[in-house]
Amino acid sequence: MSTVNRKQAFNFLKKALENFNFAQKSENCANEAQTKKFLIDPFFSLLNYAHDQLIPEYDADFGDRVSNKVDYAIQLTKKDLIIIECKKLTSKLTDKEAGQLSGYFQHAKNSRIAILTNGKEYRFYSDVALPNTMDSKPFFVFDIENYTDRDIEELLDFDARLIKVQEIISKAQELVFIDNFEHTFFKEMTNPSKEFLKLIHKNMSFKTKYNEEAMKALMNSSLFKSLTDKIILHEIKSNSKSAGIITTDEEIQAYHTIRTLLIQNKKISSDNERIGYRDQKGTFNILVDDNQRKIICQLKFTDNSKKIIIDNHETDLDYLDDLLKFKTQLTDKTIGLLEN
């Protein structure tokens, strides 16, 4: 079992990526060999693979057939192998290149992970949909010029000191399932099948004559937004019951009013997903990053009064529309919290 501290490994990898100097290295990458030398080999060094762990020209065929060699292979254990197909930096990674890698993948013994790269972009594949057949889509893509902390965290799974193939495969299976579920659900929402519409009609409490076209016309973005709001409210109420917390429609309405005010500012709109709320006994908190130390404002709504609290300053509200008066104050507060 690895004794490597994952948090420390994350920090080291993040710093190493920041110092990678891709622009300078890429100046020397006119062909595939140079791309390997100046970009791909150093990239795997960042993941703590020794140079001799990258087996060049790995034979990806069985038996006496004509040899097909993949650019690199990493033999993790006797049972676990990663194969890597490299292209020159200026190559665009397409289905054609992925198809070539898929052929190698099918014939490489013990390979559950395959990587296609041009030195800038690294596409990670597995065989989740069909055993021994590489999936058509990568389960993870890392772009060395455009990544987030979340991407670094995912990349860290492939660190030579931390890698656990079965755990990676399990994650890939979950991601492929979610992607397929979302795709299928989206397709059903935008182009509902007769079976789906009939099921909805069957379960409607107010029975009318089945009208497929009328039901299809209702399947639009306005309906989905309304349903999303109801689901969010339902989840909050369900999760809050055990704690004796009841989130009201009025609190949700106030949250959406404040959120609408905030995202009108360009500095906030790009990070709008970081704004949320947390209902607690006595106060309804609107905050950044779901962090109680980053509270934009608090609402105290009772049957007899409505109050907004900003920086410990409490103000009475006669109507929900009174929240509009606090636009500048709330915006300035939110920008400060997003930047810290």
Residue 93 sits in a domain whose CATH number is: 3.90.1570.30
Tell me whether residue 318 is in a domain. Answer: yes
Tell me whether residue 200 is in a domain. Answer: no
Average predicted confidence (pLDDT) for the chain:
87
32 phi and psi, to 5 degrees?
A: -65, -40
Question: Using CA atoms, how far apart are residues 309 and 316, in angstroms rounded to an integer?
Answer: 9
Does pLDDT of 66 surpass 60?
Answer: no
Pairing of strands 121-125, 111-117: antiparallel
Domain check: are 168 and 249 in the same one?
Answer: no
Domain check: are 19 and 111 in the same one?
Answer: yes
Q: Which of 142, 174, 206 is the last residue of a domain?
A: 174
Domain check: are 256 and 160 in the same one?
Answer: no
Tell me whether residue 52 is in a domain. Answer: yes
At 189-237, the pLDDT tens digits run 889 999 999 998 888 877 678 888 888 888 888 888 788 777 777 766 6
Domain check: are 18 and 164 in the same one?
Answer: yes
Please report, rounded to a whole number, the percentage of residues in the chain having pLDDT higher than 70. 93
Which tokens hold the place of 190? 């935008």
Tell me whether residue 192 is in a domain. Answer: no
Tell me whether residue 38 is in a domain. Answer: yes
Domain check: are 30 and 153 in the same one?
Answer: yes
Which tokens hold the place of 198? 């009939």
Q: Which of 123, 146, 174 is the last residue of a domain?
A: 174
Domain check: are 261 and 166 in the same one?
Answer: no
3-class state of residue 314 by DSSP: strand
3-class state of residue 172 by DSSP: helix
Tell me whether residue 54 is in a domain. Answer: yes
Full 3-state SS string of 106-164: HHCCCEEEEEEECCCEEEEECCCCECCECCCCCCEEEECCCCCHHHHHHHHHHCCCCCC
Predicted confidence band at 161 (pLDDT cuts at 50, 70, 90)?
Answer: very high
pLDDT value, residue 244: 61
Pairing of strands 275-280, 140-143: unpaired
pTM: 0.63
Question: Using CA atoms, how far apart are residues 154 and 319, in angstroms rounded to an integer?
Answer: 47
- Angle, CA of 322, 289 and 230, to the nearest 5°: 60
Domain check: are 164 and 268 in the same one?
Answer: no
Does pLDDT of 249 surpass 80?
Answer: yes
Flag the least confident range among 25-29, 142-146, 271-275, 334-338: 271-275
Domain check: are 249 and 125 in the same one?
Answer: no
Domain check: are 43 and 165 in the same one?
Answer: yes
Work out the average pLDDT over 49-69. Answer: 74
> Domain count of the chain?
2
pLDDT value, residue 24: 93
Work out the average pLDDT over 312-325. Answer: 90
pLDDT value, residue 237: 65
Domain check: are 31 and 143 in the same one?
Answer: yes
Tell me whether residue 205 is in a domain. Answer: no
Q: Write out the E strands in the chain.
A: 54-59, 69-75, 81-86, 111-117, 121-125, 140-143, 275-280, 283-288, 295-301, 306-310, 313-316
pLDDT value, residue 67: 59
206-230 CB burial, b ≥16 within 10 A, e <16: eeeeeeeeebeeebeeeeeeeeeee
Domain check: are 155 and 259 in the same one?
Answer: no
Domain check: are 166 and 19 in the same one?
Answer: yes
Q: Which of 119, 153, 174 is the last residue of a domain?
A: 174
42 phi and psi, to 5 degrees?
A: -65, -35
Strands of the sheet containing 140-143, edge to edge, are 54-59, 69-75, 81-86, 111-117, 121-125, 140-143
Tell me whether residue 208 is in a domain. Answer: no
Place of tokens 């931390």: 162
Structural domain boundaries enclosing 331: 241-339
Work out the average pLDDT over 7-19. Answer: 93
pLDDT value, residue 172: 87
